[in-house]
Amino acid sequence: MDSARTRVAYCTLAMVFLAACGAQVTPASPSATAAPPTSILQPTGTPLPTITSTTEPTLTPTTAFAPSPTPWIPGNLGPIAYITNDYYAGKDEIRLVNPAAFEFQTIYTTASNSLAYSLSWSPDGQSIAFVQEYSCIGVCPKGDIFILDVANIKTRNLTNTPDVYERDLAWSPDGKKIAYVVSTHDARNIYVMDVDGSNIRQLTDCATFCEQPAWSPAGESIAYMSDFHIFVMNADGSNSRQVTQGGVNMRPAWSPDGKQIAFIRAASTSLESTRYLYVMRPDGSNPIALDSDAPFDEQITWSPDGRFIAFKNSGYNKDQGISIVDIQSGMTRLVAGGLAYAPAWQPILVPVFDPSLVNALPDCTSGRTQLTAGAQARVLGSEGDTPNRVRSAPVIADNVIYLLSPGSVMQVTEGPVCADGLVFWKVWNIGIPGGYGWTAEGDGKQYWLIYHLPQQP
């Protein structure tokens, strides 16, 4: 699988080199609704206006970090989704990591001989869009766009176009659309569709590569990369303008407040060239270098509070994996090691645990419970065992909102409640959407949760 991924990377790099050799890029005016692609899509050839560049300073750091005394506290930030490769099984896994407690959970495994690529959360933090690539004969793989329901671990194929290669996803802030890229043998262009796969429209008509779309928080603009520069266009594909000059620029990611765009920059396309993680204003001004160990061409993501950026480090200066950099202090920390890439931060803030909400109810278990309100609990089992379901209410129904994998630690806030043959407790965990939910301690015959004694500092 490593060799397959390497082939894809080198093919991609070779194609991008060709794009840098003078081919002109033209943005598309909003096109009419297109039918779902059933074969390799070709540019429409419609005459379009030429992209104009904005006047801007040379892209070099203009502001240095002023270290902040604020401690490193991820606070009420939810999990980071990322992809890791199981080389021996020949599959990819989508995992979640809690950046505060370094807890990990595998939520999806691809089919044999297939890869996962490009993750994007829904705005409500309930689902993840991703591309599953399939092996193929030719210069590039094929892939479909899937939607993963995180709570129930169910997927659905959104595009179901096995002869088309789709990649580079971005869920719109209003949750109604997904921007993505269709790759042909000689070009890549940005499309948008409704979240049910309908109403497909082409936004760009590039002779080479227009890719890596990123929505602005208000949804009125999309940043993207073309010919190693960052462009910003209206959400309908109009008014595209270049906002970087010089160097090799890629992977734009808009800050939650819309005031900055993070991106990766290098002096050249050489694999030996140092890559920097940068932020700049949406017009390209005030570029600031944050880290010098960014990957050549990998997804980056902001925390929902705008304080941190997660990225796949190259492994040249530190252990390889997913790192997060603190915008306030410049401090960088590894949160997931190994063959980890494509980080996507859940875009919602989780309420911090509130001790005043602890509510010990009368014991309905005749003394069989091992838990108490106000203490901590841990899910029994080892990796690969069945996770504990978290529900919106203490009953068995179609109300699962999250899964807590074996080893996960939670704060017990209320209970016990005996219902449907189970003993429920209300718990807090940073991965649970909204922070709180109900999960079962056991069924009277076996326990799924156990009292957890926090480690002393």
The CATH number for 125's domain is 2.120.10.30
Three-class secondary structure of residue 409 per DSSP: strand
306, part of any domain: yes
User: Which residue range is the domain that position 395 belongs to?
Assistant: 355-452
350, part of any domain: no
> Quick one: pLDDT at residue 364?
95
> Quick one: pLDDT at residue 135?
64
pLDDT digits (tens, 9 = 90+) for 218-259: 999 999 999 999 999 999 999 999 999 888 999 999 999 999
**Do 132 and 280 belong to one domain?**
yes
For the beta carbon of residue 246, count every other beta carbon within 10 angstroms: 14
Q: Please check whether residue 96 is in contact with residue 79, taking contact to mean a CB–CB distance below 8 angstroms.
A: yes
Strands 400-404 and 388-391: antiparallel
| Tally of structural domains, the chain | 2
Q: What is the pTM of this model?
A: 0.77
457, part of any domain: no
Q: What parts of the chain have a pLDDT lower than 50? A: 1-71, 137-139, 457
> Quick one: pLDDT at residue 457?
44
**Do 251 and 307 belong to one domain?**
yes
Q: Which of 345, 364, 385 is the last residue of a domain?
A: 345
**Do 24 and 158 belong to one domain?**
yes
Q: Which of 292, 317, 345 is the last residue of a domain?
A: 345
Give the pair of three-digit tokens for residue 198: 């309908």
> Quick one: pLDDT at residue 295?
59
Q: Which residues contact 52 (CB under 8 A, 6 or more apart)?
A: 241, 242
Residue with tokens 């940005």: 190
**Do 304 and 380 belong to one domain?**
no
> Quick one: pLDDT at residue 243?
97
**Do 44 and 186 belong to one domain?**
yes
443 vs 129: CA distance, rounded Å: 35
> Quick one: pLDDT at residue 74?
55
Q: Which of 298, 322, 345 is the last residue of a domain?
A: 345
**Do 394 and 287 belong to one domain?**
no
Give the pair of three-digit tokens for residue 456: 């002393």
**Do 184 and 147 belong to one domain?**
yes
pLDDT digits (tens, 9 = 90+) for 12-54: 444 443 333 333 334 444 344 444 333 323 323 322 222 233 3
Q: Please check whether residue 59 is in contact with residue 39, taking contact to mean a CB–CB distance below 8 angstroms.
A: no
Q: Which residues contact 89 (CB under 8 A, 6 or more apart)?
A: 112
291 vs 298: CA distance, rounded Å: 14
> Quick one: pLDDT at residue 318?
59
307, part of any domain: yes
**Do 395 and 288 belong to one domain?**
no
CATH number, domain with residue 371: 2.30.30.40
> Quick one: pLDDT at residue 34?
44
**Do 262 and 381 belong to one domain?**
no
**Do 75 and 181 belong to one domain?**
yes
